[in-house]
Amino acid sequence: MAIDAITKPNTKGQVVIPKEMRDKLGITPKTSLHVTLGEDGIHMYPVDGIIEKRAVEGSYLKILEKTQGSWTEDWSTIRKKRGNIEKVASRRRKRAW
């Protein structure tokens, strides 16, 4: 494994990512970094975007609005309708034979 750069943390534990690496990965002061602790060291990855909790909840609500009414009936009614559809399909198959 080639070593591209060696750096040291300061008293606060902060580490400077060398400019060449920041430029190559497109890391700017506004770039979020995903930091994980692996068995062999610390790994950092630039993150393109972060989905906020509010956005996730909002998209879930939009899906619920679109599918509203899909499950409004109780299961016994749904089973009856399904059973009738399956019976009709079965009769058609028998007639086709």
User: pLDDT tens, 39-71?
Assistant: 999 988 888 776 666 666 677 777 777 776 666
Q: Where are the domains of the chain?
A: 1-50, 53-96
Task: Report in angstroms the alpha-carbon separations of 5 from 12, 60, 84.
Answer: 20, 44, 71
Q: What does the angle CA 66 – CA 67 – CA 71 come to, to the nearest 5 degrees?
A: 155
Q: How much is the average pLDDT of 1-5? A: 63
For residues 27 and 87, the model is more confident at 27
pTM of the entire structure?
Answer: 0.45
Task: Report in angstroms the alpha-carbon separations of 65 from 71, 75, 79.
Answer: 12, 20, 24
User: Measured between alpha carbons, how far is 84 from 93 in angstroms, rounded to an integer?
Assistant: 14
1-50: in CATH 2.10.260.10 = yes
